[in-house]
Amino acid sequence: MTESGSAGVRLDEPATIGRRVLRMRTELGLTQRQLAEPAYTPAYVSTLESGKVRPSEAALRHLAERLGVTPEELVTGRPARLAAELRLRLTDARRALATGTPEDAAALFRALHAEAVEHALPGEQATALLGLGDCLLESGDLDDAHACFASVERLLSDEPLPRRVPAIRGRANAHRLTGELRYACHLLETALDQLNASGLHDPDALLLLYSASIAPYMDMGAHERAAHAAELALALAPRVDDPALLAGMHRGVARTLIAQGRIAEADASLAKAQGLYQQLHIRTELAHCHWMRGYVHAQDGDLERAESELRTAHDMLTAKRAALFAEQVEVELADVLRRRGKVREAEALLRPLLTGGAQTGRPSGPKVTPAALRAGRGAVHAGAAHRLLGLIAEECGDTEAAEEHYRAALPLLERAGATGDVAGLCCLLGDLLRRTGRTEAALDAYRTGLAHRATPGTTTLGPAPTPPPM
């Protein structure tokens, strides 16, 4: 049990402080009189060492000076430099995640978390868990990542909301990657409303939340709300100095520009993000820029450049052993390959992602152990993989296999709330059923698709968050 000192330091109980003073005095070979004089008496030191009195701040300063330590070390048992050294090593671990593999960085963060727990440093515990959660997101261990971010929120529950925003963003990302798009939006929108309602208009926190909300909005087909979030993020950008935050904002904004058909502007926004990530040596985010630029070129019909960018992204993510992201890139690469007529290569990429089988036909480079895209892990891309396999089967005249893949994709996308993808898939399924003479079943598929298209650009979450005053 501890109490807070007047300077915000967490003080141990008097008995613990007394035993510490006794141990330090004995190790230095001092008598109680030598430690006490000239300001205090031997009797006072004896009373303190027995735990019967809590030393005043003046007494702490006197005793610490005589014992050759800081007052903080005397009342907490922690060397004054410990927290600073731990924070420095946490920065090194974050750099290891940016440039190395998530597994290696995770080992560093786990060790640093254990050290922070041992020395009762809750802020450093939270930083270590936040880094570990980001490692687990990259490697695709979404349940464990979610648990890390939730632990950070608990550790910082007494801190102002902006301190918890990175953990909220991390938890929302974990939900998005599992296919829980609506709940990801709910977490981000709730935090935005709380920040703006409480007057905590922290520009870094707001930019992080608005940028993070773009991806789940886009996956849900809520393009209008995504575009509004992008506008607010751009308005906040001049008040933010963190280059990593700005790079993430540019990457998110590019998604909304693509949806609006503003391809050149999207590519320019991605170029800005890419330049910042190159300066920061953040390899995973740099790979995401190549990934999105590949998507931009695919939307613009430049399939050769799209394939090149997607292969670059895949090679970078595979080298980083960022398993889930590498698998998602493979789905988008397979789409480009199919459109270029490389059907067998596309199929060879897709099947292992859904079965967790061998990696036949994958691009060269270090292999990623497949954990298989499925409900609860990359659900939107799992649905996209089934859709692509259905298209390939249709092109080969195998309508039975095509229908099987379309029907496998449908619940994945419906549970995720990817309404635009569901509508498009229902159209494909309806066309197939109509061509094979099952008119009533085709009508049912079309109706399902129309229901998902009934309110384009919206979510089921109610009004959008209140924007901050600019």
pLDDT for 421 equals 87
Say which DSSP state 238 is in.
G
CA 177/CA 376 separation, integer angstroms: 8
Average pLDDT over residues 217-225: 86
CA 401/CA 451 separation, integer angstroms: 26
Distances (CA, A) of 200 to 157, 197, 256, 294: 16, 8, 27, 38
Q: What are phi and psi of 29, to 5 degrees?
A: 70, 30
CA 429/CA 421 separation, integer angstroms: 12
Structure tokens at 254: 């590019």
Average pLDDT, the chain: 87
CA 292/CA 378 separation, integer angstroms: 17
Structure tokens at 269: 């926004």
463 band by pLDDT with thresholds 50, 70 and 90 = low
Nearby residues of 320 by Cβ (< 8 Å), 6 or more positions away: 100, 101, 102, 138, 283, 284, 287
pLDDT tens digit sequence for 329-368 = 999 999 999 999 999 999 999 999 887 544 433 344 434 4
How many residues in the chain? 470
Type of residue found at 136:
L
Say which DSSP state 12 is in.
P
pLDDT for 118 equals 85
Q: What are phi and psi of 375, to 5 degrees?
A: -60, 130
Q: What percentage of the chain carries pLDDT values higher than 70?
A: 90
CA 419/CA 433 separation, integer angstroms: 21
Nearby residues of 52 by Cβ (< 8 Å), 6 or more positions away: 14, 18
Average pLDDT over residues 219-234: 88
Q: What are phi and psi of 42, to 5 degrees?
A: -60, -35
Residue 453 pLDDT > 80: no
What are the residue ranges of helices labelled H in 157-282? 161-178, 181-197, 203-220, 223-236, 243-259, 263-280
pLDDT for 81 equals 74
Structure tokens at 158: 């007494």
54 band by pLDDT with thresholds 50, 70 and 90 = confident
CB 315 within 8 A of CB 277: no
Cis, bond preceding 38 (omega within 30 deg of 0):
yes
DSSP 400-431: HHHHHHHHHHHHHHHHHT-HHHHHHHHHHHHH
3-state DSSP assignment of residue 3:
strand
- pTM for this model (two decimals): 0.79
pLDDT tens digit sequence for 295-323 = 889 988 999 999 999 999 999 999 998 98
Q: Which of 14-18, 43-47, 409-413, 447-451 has the lowest mean pLDDT?
A: 447-451
CB 178 within 8 A of CB 380: no
Average pLDDT over residues 109-133: 93
pLDDT tens digit sequence for 3-49 = 444 333 455 788 888 998 999 999 999 999 999 998 899 999 999 99
Nearby residues of 430 by Cβ (< 8 Å), 6 or more positions away: 442, 443, 445, 446, 449
Say which DSSP state 313 is in.
H
Q: What residues are paired with 377 via a beta bridge? A: 374
CA 331/CA 452 separation, integer angstroms: 23
Q: What are phi and psi of 4, to 5 degrees?
A: -90, 135
105: Cα separation from own chain's centroid: 15
pLDDT for 7 equals 36
Beta pairing class for 10-11 and 3-4: antiparallel
Structure tokens at 378: 């990359």
444, 446, 450, 452 alpha-carbon torsion, rounded to 10°: 80
Neighbours of 385 (CB within 10 A): 29
